[in-house]
Structure 1
Amino acid sequence: MILKNLKNATTGLIAGSCIFAIACAAVLQPVFAQQLTSNITIDAKKVTGPFNPVWSYFGYDEANYTTMKDGKKLLSELAVLSKNPVYVRVHNLLNTGDGKVALKWSSTNAYTEDKEGKPVYDWTGVDAIFDVMVQRGMKPIAEIGFMPEALSTKPQPYQHHWQPGVPYDSVFTGWAYPPTDYKKWGELVYQWVKHCKEKYGEKEVKSWCWEVWNEPNIGYWKGTMEKYFALYDYAADAVKRACPDAVIGGPTSTGPRWDKAAEFLKAFLQHCVDGKNNATGEMGAPLDYISFHAKGNPTVVNNQVRMNMAVQLQDVSRGFEIVHSFPSLKKLPIIIGEFDPEGCAACSVKFNPQNAYRNGTMYSSYTAASFAQLYALAKKYDVNLQGAVSWSFEFEDQPWFAGFRDLATNGIDKPVLNVFRMFGMMKGKMLEVNNPNTLSLQQIVDSSVHGDQPYVNALATLGTRELYIMLWNYHDDDSKKSTALINLALENIPATKASASSYLIDETHSNSYTVWKELGSPQEVSAAQFSQLEKAGQLQTVETGKQVVIEKGNIHYQLSLAGQGVTLLKFTW
């Protein structure tokens, strides 16, 4: 990336692959003949709404990773992304077992029964998981699931032994079945919430989100839709009895772009509005927020990965449309329970070559571009988007850069985590971004970024005395990436001078993967190499505190951003 003040720059040569030059400093770096030119105008007076931290939500299957070495380290990093609380959603919180972790599996042994069939509750495992979150100021999205072995209508086989390369449906074993007794199920939930209120305090528990199950419209639930409604009713009733002001939501169903998933979401919402409650016999069910999932669909074309953001955004669009169609629900908060480039975090590149995007800058630029669309879609459909869960965490004791969908590998942060660090720095109110030559929201929803033109655009926020601008240069096909020349015009800045800083993610900045490859892609990493990789995984500041002259409220800059690059500019006055 090159950034320069067009009116105040003089000509000179400065060494380095990435330069940020302001005011009277000069920059000269070759501008490639085929690069795209993008003209972006941002007016500090054109506020479009609040900048809600929809990005500050993360999740993972393996709940027991929470208490492990690298899991704790990563959660500590996520917790300090910004002053906004970070929400964490995990599967398998009620599974029966010994607490040993495996891919797509965890257990806490929270519920068993004695010889007379009476419940035995043991909160040690779930407490250990929630303790790690609460101690860091994080907020659990407490997923009520899955079915304890003693309550399952088909308990055997119970624990699955899935590995990459094995058919995915093999994960759906005894934990996915309805309960033998819905009253026992409700009492389990009641005792759990009651215990949490006693341990953490009512005020703390009221700040969490509770939800019932995960993707009950597919193999995660081996009952009918009506039986899921009963499962929800008994759980929601139990949550409210234990803590009346607790927040409960659902159905966390799969992407509603799929007609059957859309029908499930509609039926669930209708049940919550006026269906007969299986637990109370009354009309309707408690619902404080609505959740569904949205996934992209990468493929391999000509031996290269091609991303597809369109299907992910179509999930979001149809979900928002469905929520908006319910007059009494359309203002409820929406949490997109999983928002990812595809559907299997634990599926590695070895067996799924379309997942080769995960280690480098394709993942980081996709994340910046896709999350930015959520704000526009929420405004279009007039819904209350609260958050979007990135189903990406870490995989303990796995090979380095094995190609899992994760934020860090063996304690080393990947480039994608630095996008969330950028989001975390932004604050204030969102500003309108005028970029007439970029792809429109509808073009991306319809066709993603498959053509010759990359998707270059920005997200901007205005704080009390600072302006933040995140810019990305994204393409679905890495072979079509190209450097973009961006002319940036900032208007109505209420000052005569400012200081500017910049941060960058590209092949050579904020990129531990590039450094790891330069080290020879080692699987045995020395202490010195670990320190080098750890530093490379942090968000890199390109320049800071440079003085900028503002002429009649205007700043004009030109910057060059590499393909799949993401940069954050911060102007302070």
Structure 2
Amino acid sequence: MSASFSVDLNGPTRPLPHFWEHTVGSGHATLALRADWQAQLKIAHDELGMQHVRFHGILCDDMGTLVSEGDTFFYSFFNADLIIDYLLSIGMKPFVELSFMPTTLASGSQTVFHYGANVTPPRDPAQWSVLIRKLITHWTERYGLDEVRQWFFEVWNEPNLTAFGSGKQEDYFNLYRYTVEAIKGVDKALKVGGPATAANAWIEDFLTFCKDNSLPADFISTHHYPTDAFGKPGDDTEAQLAASTRSILREQASDVRAKVGELPLYYTEWCTSSNPRDVMHDDPYAAAFIVKTILEANGLLQGYSYWTFSDIFEENYFPSIPFQGGFGLQTIHGIAKPAHRAFQLLHQLGTDLAMVEGTHETVDAWFVRGDQKSQLMMTNFALPRHPIATQEIQFTLAGAHPPSQVTIQRIDLEHANAKRHWEQLGKPDYLSAAMVAELKDASMLQEEHLEFSHQDGSLTLRVSMPPQSVASILFCY
């Protein structure tokens, strides 16, 4: 055997809250008015258990939230309401990113993305406060305080990056001050937080600012990607990842948790890389990375918002190629990638995590207990340009009654891998309805029976784990 893992069912356990289902990311607000976006979000909720959705630009000009003619301001929350009405209708809620700056209020002309999101501070902070207060008051009147108190209000997006913030740290902190005061002026129980930074930045400075100015911060939010600050300028994504470490995101989250103490911590963006055209987003590599990253972050976070649930995404342009290396868990046609299936397997888990004995350079294992069923999750994962090979794994479960059956579901090159089937079709740029149906079928998880032995209260089984793979083994009693 390449490696052995074991679990004693009489051993200790710890809780496994499904923190990764708290929120999932999307592109920008107007996409949420599309029927295909809405259909894919419902799948993310129904199949993956996602509870909130976060996106950019609810205050942007293309949403019509605030426009002006001369000195006259026109407020319209109709489009924002349409989005929230839909979220609530499918059992979800918004994680509201308050961005970007309406041109009417902007102090400058700097923009980002093809839809021209203004990223400058407000010309008159008092007018920004009026906008925020009007919007929040409207929502509390429309949906009720009990409902809106369950939402989250995050101030801006990645203000530490010049692409998203033309000002300095001081400008962001002032924006936070005006925003939190406006929201708390409507209702003190509404949840507001920040600094919504890239790469775990500004957190200690933000907490100090809030403390020194007696400002509330109900939660801390930040972002991280395994490509952050690795490699050399100009390196491609593979080189950046190769310079990272297998557990870099857990290490970073652990550092941030130590800084924020008991405050709720939400990572409102993370992914396998920050490259919007990374071919590995569409591969089994992403599935293995996701399962490993999430399960080893247990106990550190209240929410972990994967970026994004769909390739219906248009920050720079809207590609038509079915497998384009986009961030999404689903393609533009709603075909589930291996990453989507990884979240589906995670959603099947219970909430009682047992202690697993055993280690390996590339294979990790987790065992989740339940009354009627228990589940073993394994990954065989390595970063690009690092050694990895098929591993033969032996797993022993001590103190176990004989299960009625043991089944396995896999994600790897040969399983739940629609991209490979698309490649076998010749990589067509445009898909017929029949091709979409065929690829959706190829993306499905398949359940197979797994042989095991049981003797003297111990169960033993063997599993072959290909490179960059996930295996979910279900024990039914």
TM over 0.5: yes
Q: Deviations over 1:492-523 (max 9, x none)?
A: 23x34333222111112111111111111112
Q: Work out whether 1:245 is the aligned partner of 2:189.
A: yes
- Contact persistence 1:295–1:311 (CA under 8 A): no
Q: Work out whether 1:209 is the aligned partner of 2:209.
A: no
- Structure 1 counterpart of 2:272: 341
- Contact persistence 1:362–1:478 (CA under 8 A): no
1:440-451 correspondence to structure 2 within 5 Å: none
- Structure 1 counterpart of 2:315: none
Match of 2:340 among 409, 417, 436: 417
Shift of 1:87: 2.1
Q: Work out whether 1:386 is the aligned partner of 2:302.
A: yes
- Structure 1 counterpart of 2:363: 456
| Alignment-mate amino acid for residue 209 of structure 2 | H
Q: Work out whether 1:569 is the aligned partner of 2:476.
A: no
Shift of 1:336: 1.0
Q: Work out whether 1:161 is the aligned partner of 2:114.
A: yes
Shift of 1:251: 0.7
Shift of 1:127: 1.6
Classify 1:63/1:47 alpha carbon distance in 2 versus 1 (closer, same or farther; 3 Å).
farther
Classify 1:54/1:478 alpha carbon distance in 2 versus 1 (closer, same or farther; 3 Å).
farther
Classify 1:369/1:159 alpha carbon distance in 2 versus 1 (closer, same or farther; 3 Å).
closer
- Contact persistence 1:421–1:539 (CA under 8 A): no
- Structure 1 counterpart of 2:293: 370
CA RMSD in angstroms comes to 2.7
1:66-85 correspondence to structure 2 within 5 Å: 66-81=32-47, 85=50
Q: Deviations over 1:126-160 (max 9, x none)?
A: 12222232222122110011111101011x36575
- Structure 1 counterpart of 2:14: 49
- Contact persistence 1:89–1:140 (CA under 8 A): yes
Any idea what SS the aligned residue of 1:184 has? Answer: helix
Q: Deviations over 1:72-113 (max 9, x none)?
A: 22211110135x55221101111012xxxxxxxxxx111123
1:262-301 correspondence to structure 2 within 5 Å: 264-272=202-210, 274-276=211-213, 284-297=214-227
Q: Deviations over 1:436-477 (max 9, x none)?
A: 3x24xxxxxxxxxxxxxxx10112211233211111111223
User: d(CA) in 1 for partners of 2:395 and 2:37?
Assistant: 40
Match of 2:80 among 123, 126, 130: 126
Match of 1:137 among 70, 91, 114: 91
Q: Work out whether 1:331 is the aligned partner of 2:274.
A: no
- Structure 1 counterpart of 2:383: 476
Q: Work out whether 1:501 is the aligned partner of 2:407.
A: yes
- Structure 2 counterpart of 1:193: 136
Shift of 1:246: 1.8
Q: Deviations over 1:317-374 (max 9, x none)?
A: 345434424xxx51111111211222243xx2xxxxxx23122112221222222221
User: d(CA) in 2 for partners of 1:537 and 1:299?
Assistant: 33
User: d(CA) in 2 for partners of 1:473 and 1:159?
Assistant: 38
Any idea what SS the aligned residue of 1:55 has? Answer: helix
- Structure 2 counterpart of 1:22: none
| Alignment-mate amino acid for residue 523 of structure 1 | D
- Contact persistence 2:399–2:458 (CA under 8 A): yes
Shift of 1:287: 1.3
Q: Work out whether 1:183 is the aligned partner of 2:126.
A: yes
Classify 1:67/1:312 alpha carbon distance in 2 versus 1 (closer, same or farther; 3 Å).
farther
User: d(CA) in 1 for partners of 2:93 and 2:246?
Assistant: 26
Classify 1:127/1:500 alpha carbon distance in 2 versus 1 (closer, same or farther; 3 Å).
same
- Contact persistence 1:147–1:175 (CA under 8 A): yes
- Structure 2 counterpart of 1:13: none
Deviates more, 1:404-413 or 1:236-245: 236-245
Instruction: Give the aligned length.
Output: 464
| Alignment-mate amino acid for residue 285 of structure 1 | L
Classify 1:487/1:433 alpha carbon distance in 2 versus 1 (closer, same or farther; 3 Å).
same
Q: Work out whether 1:553 is the aligned partner of 2:460.
A: no
Shift of 1:312: 8.7
Q: Work out whether 1:109 is the aligned partner of 2:75.
A: no
Any idea what SS the aligned residue of 1:490 has? Answer: strand
Any idea what SS the aligned residue of 2:19 has? Answer: coil
Classify 1:174/1:141 alpha carbon distance in 2 versus 1 (closer, same or farther; 3 Å).
closer
Classify 1:564/1:211 alpha carbon distance in 2 versus 1 (closer, same or farther; 3 Å).
same
- Contact persistence 2:242–2:384 (CA under 8 A): no
Any idea what SS the aligned residue of 1:497 has? Answer: coil
Q: Deviations over 1:516-568 (max 9, x none)?
A: 1111111232222221111112222234xx79675443211111111111111
Classify 1:535/1:339 alpha carbon distance in 2 versus 1 (closer, same or farther; 3 Å).
same
Any idea what SS the aligned residue of 1:45 has? Answer: coil
Which residues of structure 2 form unaligned runs of 5+?
Answer: 313-317
Which residues of structure 1 form unaligned runs of 5+?
Answer: 1-35, 98-107, 163-172, 277-283, 349-354, 440-454
Classify 1:182/1:203 alpha carbon distance in 2 versus 1 (closer, same or farther; 3 Å).
same
Percent identity of paired positions between Structure 1 and Structure 2: 24
TM-score (structure 2 length as normaliser): 0.89
Q: Work out whether 1:151 is the aligned partner of 2:95.
A: no
- Contact persistence 1:176–1:222 (CA under 8 A): yes
